[in-house]
Amino acid sequence: MFSVCLCARFQADPKESHLTAVKRIFRYLLGTQGIGNWYPRHSTSFEIIGFFDSDFAGCKVDRKSTSGTCQFIGQSLVSWSSRKQNSIVLSTAEAEYITLGSCVAQVLWLK
């Protein structure tokens, strides 16, 4: 989803590189049609686990970081997100701290 939104920003003045990126997204989607999530009926664990990661100033246009989180109940993925952070941070630790807050908020909502 993040890649699609990134390409959509350049709709007004697209370049050849943007068309190449869109074609790559379509090839990825075509190759992953049969892939999905499987949730077993009888799970032995209902523990909520959250994982998070972020990059530091990964966007070359505005130097904002990208956050990613995923939450599991047992071994089943129940929630995930990947988005650009709203603020420009000055360190990797600050980017990770913002992502941690987002992940904890989602875990608390799941409880």
Q: DSSP state, 48?
A: E
Q: What is the mean pLDDT of residues 21-45?
A: 81
CB 22 within 8 A of CB 6: no
Return the bridge partners of 84, or none: 66
Q: What is the pLDDT of residue 1?
A: 62
To which H or E segment does residue 87 belong? none
Q: Is the pLDDT of residue 66 over 70?
A: yes
**Alpha carbons 96 and 53: distance in angstroms, whole number:** 7
Q: What is the pLDDT of residue 76?
A: 82
| pLDDT per residue as tens digits for the range 79-94 | 999 888 888 988 889 9
Greater model confidence, 42 or 111: 111
CA triple 50-52-66, angle to 5 deg: 145
Indicate the pTM of the whole model. 0.60
DSSP, collapsed to helix, strand or coil, labels residue 53 as strand
